A = this chain, B = another copy of it.
């Protein structure tokens, strides 16, 4: 139980000021967008600062180095991805429902966090220098669990016997493509930008393909 207020307040509570919170957010948003368009080295701190509405020096006040800012951007999207990355976390009773919701979740991420998703993708393409360790400790174990679950389903005869790993690779890639390769996708569809309807169509198609392709239901 807390003591009387004036007691051992050695470390000042130093609450995150509202200004700091707001500015860090706008910096991260700006950084996501610029990093995703021009890459890490192709983006100048001054450009980010400008987009976030402040001076470069002020930006450095909030993020003491470019690398730290970059890692923060990566970390942000990773938290989102990890959270929805596991089959277990999906609502649904039957395997079909679970898989359906899994696909849906991943398309949603592409729809709502396209810039961050692109930064993540580039990082992976570059060989995941910053993320390798984190992926090993967080993503891989979660994937193992999911694989086991799928194998259980296969043993129970509710789906075809296939290589579960490649199933996940396929779902990851074909859902993320609506963020990462959106320029190619929208170009192919003859649109300036992807609409909600397009994401829905994607979800529907992928669900159909996976469920039927695995002989489920």
Contact = CB atoms under 8 A, between A and B. Distances in A.
A135 B213 contact: no
Interface in A165-189: 165-170, 172-174, 176-178, 180-181, 183-185, 187-189
A166 B214 contact: no
Given A162-B205, A209-B209, A126 B38 contact: yes
Contact of A173 (B160, B177, B190, B204): B177
A125 B127 CA distance: 16
Contacts of A148: none
Contacts of A168: 188
A140 B187 contact: yes
Given A169-B174, A170-B206, A205-B170, A181 B125 contact: yes
A136 B208 contact: no
B139 A208 contact: no
A215 interface: yes
Given A173-B173, A210-B213, 9 more contacts: A118-B125, A121-B121, A125-B180, A125-B183, A136-B187, A162-B205, A165-B188, A169-B177, A169-B188
Nearest 8 interchain pairs by C-beta:
A213-B213, A173-B177, A41-B41, A209-B213, A41-B42, A166-B205, A39-B39, A170-B174
